[in-house]
Amino acid sequence: MVTNKKNPYILLGISMVTQATTSLVGGLIGFGPFTDTSNTAKALNGVANNIVGIYAGILLQIITALVIIALAAALYQAGKPVNHATALIASGFYVMEAVLHIVSQIVVFAFAQAGVQYTAGGDTAFVAIGDILLKLRDFCGAITMMPFGLGALLFYYLIMKAGVIPKWLGFWGIITVSFIFIGWTLQAFGASVPFALYVPYVPWEWVAGVYILIKSVKTPKSA
């Protein structure tokens, strides 16, 4: 009899790829392209004139938050044989990340509504409101990366130790997500951090997710 120890990780691979994709697409079609934070009035007009794209981006980011919870569950299942308590703590960090991610989208929605009102009536009071919402949105986005970074550090170590991913892939994730955690923590409190610091991590979830999927599919089913 062949014991199937890898196929349960299919959900993990799918969750990783889905989360990375919805987050990227939501950022590309939603809020990001229309927010020149150096000019709040321009940003308000931008979101008002592209409201459908903004709403689509918000929806995708909310889906991302839900997928993060599914990913937490899948990572927990993969990591708990190594250390149950650590896997549980990491899951808590991921759930916190998902909640903060949704909060940030509520702020984006509020900014979009301010943009609609500003464009319709030209009331400059909405510029001041929009400026506050932009700062709040940036802060929410930055602090969201804190629980993510902590949870990811724990989970990547656990799944590497469990043999779900090879050591080279595990160390890639652990090292580069450390940059994410440190960089966004500094940004949350006003420090300027070059985007280049985050680039090495960007493809990791796709690479890891595809690796896990391929490894799962190639594993013989139980007989």
Per-position DSSP letters for 142-183, written without gaps between them = HHHHHHHHHHHHHHHHHHHHTTSS-HHHHHHHHHHHHHHHHH
pLDDT number for residue 42: 86
Cα atoms in the 13 Å half-sphere on the side-chain side of 143? 12
> What rounded mean pLDDT belongs to the chain?
87
Q: What's the token pair of residue 170?
A: 């595990």
Contact 19, 11 (CB under 8 A): no
pLDDT number for residue 175: 96
Residues 140-179: tens digit of each pLDDT? 988 999 999 999 999 999 999 999 999 999 999 999 999 9
* pLDDT of 33 strictly over 60: no
pTM for this model (two decimals):
0.87
Per-residue confidence at 2, pLDDT binned at 50, 70, 90? Answer: very low
- In this prediction, residues 45-52 reach a mean pLDDT of 87
Per-residue confidence at 188, pLDDT binned at 50, 70, 90? Answer: confident
In whole angstroms, what separates CA 147 from the centre of its chain?
A: 11
- Quickly list H helices, 4-124: 10-29, 40-48, 51-79, 84-121
First to last CA, the chain: 5
Q: What's the token pair of residue 135?
A: 């700062």
* Most confident among 153-157, 183-187, 193-197 (mean pLDDT): 153-157
Residues 64-103: tens digit of each pLDDT? 999 999 999 999 999 999 999 999 999 999 999 999 999 9
What values do phi and psi take at 64, rounded to 5? -55, -45
Q: In sequence order, which residues have a C-beta less than 8 Å from that of residue 127 and are 6 or more positions away?
A: 40, 41, 44, 118
* Percent of the residues in the chain that have a pLDDT greater than 90, as a whole number: 57
Contact 202, 208 (CB under 8 A): no
- In this prediction, residues 103-131 reach a mean pLDDT of 91
> What DSSP state is assigned to residue 131?
H
pLDDT number for residue 109: 94
In whole angstroms, what separates CA 63 from the centre of its chain?
A: 11
Exposure letters 157-172 (e unless 16+ CB within 10 A, then b): bbbbbbebbeeebbeb
How many whole angstroms separate alpha carbon 23 and alpha carbon 5?
29
